[in-house]
Chains A and B, each alone.
Chain A
Amino acid sequence: MSFQFDEHELYAKLQSRDPEVLKDFVENNYKYLKKSLHFSEISSDEYEDIIQDSFAVFFNTLDSFKKQSKLSTYLWGIFYNKLREARRKYGKTPTPVAEVFEEQFQEDGHWLEGIHISDPESWENYSELSSIISDCLKKLPFIHQQVLLMQANSNLDKKEICHNLQINDTNYRQSLSRGRKSLRNCVDGAFQGIENA
């Protein structure tokens, strides 16, 4: 079940620890947080701690919440701070996907002769497509990956995504654009490998 409260009602219900609303809020946000971590380089033991700590801080500081953002934005902000701490602590570095986009074009911006783009019709019914996309997501730089996931899956708007990831509008557009290109290139490369096998 998912309740449809306005932010004011939701805040009051969470503050009074309404059992049903609490369960609904934790379950729904847990899924999103888990998804964010699932594609990152953080191990499952580490991300259990990050999620647990994020909810603990969120509820411990709820009384002093200034209501200047959505509750989910507040939780995600805490979560990304925890995630940044963990990434610094463990010295995690992303594994960037090679930027092959430029290599598809001549200097004047036209296609190189003989460039092959795999047929998207064959993608749609391919049962392993989700796992190819998941593998490719893991290879993207962290911010590109998170912008793509948040943009596709959460109900956060652009302003909230920028706030949570501590990036500006230009970085957001750049991350989204580069992330999409890299992801498509990676998936297309995987399909060309399948077609050639």
Chain B
Amino acid sequence: MLSCKDVQDILVENEELSLGKKLQFKFHHFICKNCQKIKKQYQVINARLQDIEPQLDDNDKRQINDIINSIKEKK
């Protein structure tokens, strides 16, 4: 039987599971409130990580222009 800690490891590692482990995991996940909460927490964090985009300010725009100007002519 998987322990709570095993289930948490599986939640973060996304490894390929055997059918037996999958069933154990599903069962444990089904009865474990903390496991469900943590799975949801990972989902929220992953979604936010994908959304985090640095805002480009005027300084960045100036730097992008500087880079483009310095490389637009082949040396």
Contact B68 A26 (CB under 8 A): yes
Q: How far is the CA of A87 from the CA of B5 in the complex (A)?
A: 35
Shortest B51–chain A CB gap in Å is 7
Identify which of residues 20-37 in chain B touch chain A, using a CB-to-CB cut-off of 8 Å.
34, 37
Contact B44 A129 (CB under 8 A): yes
List A contacts of B42 (CB < 8 A).
180, 184
- 8 Å CB contact of B37 from A117, A130, A173: A117
Number of B residues near A (Cβ < 8 Å) is 38
Contact B68 A153 (CB under 8 A): no
Say whether, besides A22-B71, A26-B64, A124 and B44 are in contact (CB < 8 Å): yes
Which label, helix, strand, loop or mixed, suits the secondary structure of the B interface?
helix
List B contacts of A129 (CB < 8 A).
44, 48
Contact A109 B34 (CB under 8 A): no
Contact B4 A133 (CB under 8 A): no
A70: Cβ under 8 A from any B Cβ:
no
The total of interchain contacts (Cβ-Cβ below 8 angstroms) comes to 115
List B contacts of A123 (CB < 8 A).
41, 44
B18: Cβ under 8 A from any A Cβ:
no
Say whether, besides A30-B64, A148-B49, A152-B46, A59 and B71 are in contact (CB < 8 Å): yes
Q: Which residue of B lies closest to A39 (CB)?
A: B52
Shortest A168–chain B CB gap in Å is 16
A149: Cβ under 8 A from any B Cβ:
yes
Contact A120 B37 (CB under 8 A): yes
Contact B4 A149 (CB under 8 A): no
- 8 Å CB contact of B45 from A117, A133, A153, A173: A133
Of the stretches A3-11, A50-58, A92-100, the one at the interface is A50-58
Q: How far is the CA of A60 from the CA of B49 in the complex (A)?
A: 33
Q: Which residues of A contact B (CB under 8 A)?
A: 15-17, 19, 22-23, 26-27, 30-31, 34-35, 38, 48, 51-52, 55-56, 59-60, 101, 105, 108-111, 115, 117-121, 123-124, 129-130, 133-134, 148-149, 152-153, 173, 176-177, 180-181, 183-184, 187-188
22 CB contacts below 8 A, A to B, read: A16-B74, A27-B64, A30-B67, A35-B53, A52-B70, A59-B71, A105-B4, A105-B5, A108-B3, A110-B3, A110-B5, A111-B34, A120-B41, A120-B43, A133-B45, A153-B52, A177-B9, A177-B12, A180-B12, A181-B12, A184-B12, A184-B41
